Structure 1
C-alpha cells in the first residue's frame, strides 16, 4: 500500500464500499476493508497537504463506520475530518463537527459532544456573518458542560456567547449571560474575583439598550449579591457612567471612560459597547 497513490486507494475504497459480498466474504467485511482504504487515502492526501481531499476521504470512512454500526469510531473520524477541513473549508469543518456531535449525543457522550459544539462555535466566531450561530453553539456547549459537571468550561462558553451577543447588539441576551456567569462564579473563591467584570459588562449592556432605570435596579441587585462590588474600580466606573447617562452629560461620561482606561485599557468589544452607550447619550433630546 506504500507505493499506491491516494487516488488509487480512494478508487479501491469506493469499490469495496459498494460491494455486496461474494462466496467467501460478507458485505460487512468489504465495508470494513473500505474504511481502512479511505483512511489510508486520507493519510496520503495529508502527506501531500491536500487537506480538503483528506477530509472528504475521512467523511466517507465515517459514513461506512456508521453503516457497520461503529458509531463511536465514526464520531472520532468525523472530528479528524473536521481538522483537515478547518485549514481549507470552514463550512465543511462545521458539517463534520456537527455530525460528530450528533453521533456523540445519540451515544450519551455529552461531554465530548459539548467539545464538538465548542469547536463549531469557534469556527462560527471567525465569520462575521455567522456570529448568531456561534452564539447558539456556545450556549448549547455550555448547557451540556453544565450537565456533565464541567462548570468552569460552561462559564467560559457562556462568556464567549455573551461577547458575541454584544457584537450582535443583542443586549438583553448578553445581560442574561453575564449575570448567569456572575451567579455561577460567586460561590467559589477562585472565581469570585472576576464577578466585578461580569457585573460591569452586564451594567454597560443595560445602558447600551438604553435603559438607565433597569441599570440602576441591576446595580442595587449586584451590591446585594456582592457587597464589595460598589467599592471596586468596576463598580465605581459603572456608577459614574450611569450618572452621566441619567443626566445626559457627555463630558462627564468621557472623563469617566478616560480615567478607567488609564487603569484598565478599554479595547475590543467593550470599547464598541461604550461607544454605543455614548451614542445613546448624544442622541437624547435636550429638554433644558
Structure 2
C-alpha cells in the first residue's frame, strides 16, 4: 500500500467495495477494507495537494463505512473530506459537513452537531460568500449549544449571527440577536463589559429600520436591565443620535458621529450601519 499510487489505491478500493463476501470473508469485512483503501488514497492525494480528489476519496470512504454499518466512523470521515474540499471547493466542504452533521443529529450528539453547524456557518461566511446561509447556520448552532449548556459558545454564535444580519440589512433580526447576546452577557461579570456595545448596535438597528418610537422604548428597557448603560459613552451616543434622528437634523447627526468616532473608531459594518441610519433620517418626510 505504501508504494501504491492514489489511483491504484482507488481502483483496489472500488474492487473491494463491489465484491461480495466469500466462504471465508464477510461483506462487511470487505467494505471495511475498501473504506481503509479509500482513506489511504485520500491521504496520498492530500500529500500531493490534490485536494478535490482527496475529498472525493474520503467521501467514498465515508459512504462505504455507512454501508458497513459504521456510521460513527463515517461522521469522522466526512469531516476529513470537508478539510480537503475547504482547500479547493468550499461548496463541497459544506456538503461533506452537512453529511457529518446529519449523522451526529441522528445519533443524538448535538454538541458535536453544533460544532459542525458552526463550521458550516464559517464556510458560508468566509469561503462560499453566502451570508444569509451563514446567518441561518450560526443561529442553528447557537440553539444547539444552548441545549447542551454551552452558554459562552452559544453567545458567540448569536453574536456572529447578529453581525451578519446587520451586514445584510436584516435589522429586525439583527436587533433581536443583539438584545439576546446582551441579555446573556448580563449573566456573567466576565461579559457584562460588552453589554453597552450590544445595546448600541441594537439601538442603531432600530434607527436604521427606522422605528424611533421602538428605539426609545428599547432604551428604557436597556436602562432597566443595566442601570449603568445610560451613563456610558455608548449610551449617551445612542441617546443623542435618537434625539437628532427624531428632529431630522442630518448636520447634527454627522456632528454626533464625528465626536464619537474621535474617541472610539467606527469601522466596517458599524460604519455601514450608521450610513444607513443617516440615510433613513434623510428620507424621513418633514411634517413640520
Using structure 1 for the length normalisation, give the TM-score.
Answer: 0.98
Counterpart residue number, 2:70: 70
Q: CA deviation at 1:19?
A: 1.0
CA distance in 1, matches of 2:128, 2:47: 32
- Displaced runs of 4 or more, over 6 A: none
Q: CA deviation at 1:47?
A: 1.0
**Contact 2:90–2:127 under 8 Å retained in 1:** no
Contiguous gaps of at least 5 residues in structure 2: none
Counterpart residue number, 2:16: 16
Counterpart residue number, 2:41: 41
CA distance in 2, matches of 1:68, 1:28: 5
Aligned to 1:4, what secondary structure does the other structure show?
coil
Counterpart residue number, 2:192: 192
Counterpart residue number, 1:145: 145
CA shift in 2, pair 1:64/1:128, >3 Å: closer
CA distance in 2, matches of 1:57, 1:128: 22
Q: CA deviation at 1:127?
A: 5.6
CA shift in 2, pair 1:125/1:213, >3 Å: same
Q: Deviations over 1:69-106 (max 9, x none)?
A: 11111111101110100010011000000111111111
Using structure 2 for the length normalisation, give the TM-score.
Answer: 0.98
CA distance in 2, matches of 1:271, 1:190: 27
CA shift in 2, pair 1:13/1:273, >3 Å: same
Aligned to 1:88, what secondary structure does the other structure show?
coil
Q: Deviations over 1:19-55 (max 9, x none)?
A: 1122221111110110110011011101111011001
Q: Deviations over 1:204-245 (max 9, x none)?
A: 000000000000000000000000000000000100110110
Residues 207-246 of structure 1 aligned to structure 2 (within 5 Å): 207-246=207-246
Residues 262-281 of structure 1 aligned to structure 2 (within 5 Å): 262-281=262-281
CA distance in 1, matches of 2:128, 2:209: 22
Aligned to 1:227, what secondary structure does the other structure show?
coil
Q: Deviations over 1:145-184 (max 9, x none)?
A: 1111110110000011011111221111111101111111
Counterpart residue number, 1:162: 162
Aligned length: 288
CA shift in 2, pair 1:261/1:155, >3 Å: same
CA distance in 2, matches of 1:128, 1:137: 13
CA distance in 1, matches of 2:24, 2:45: 32
CA distance in 1, matches of 2:151, 2:129: 29
Aligned to 1:162, what secondary structure does the other structure show?
helix
Contiguous gaps of at least 5 residues in structure 1: none
CA distance in 1, matches of 2:150, 2:49: 36
Counterpart residue number, 2:183: 183
Aligned to 1:28, what secondary structure does the other structure show?
helix
Q: CA deviation at 1:131?
A: 1.2
Counterpart residue number, 1:94: 94
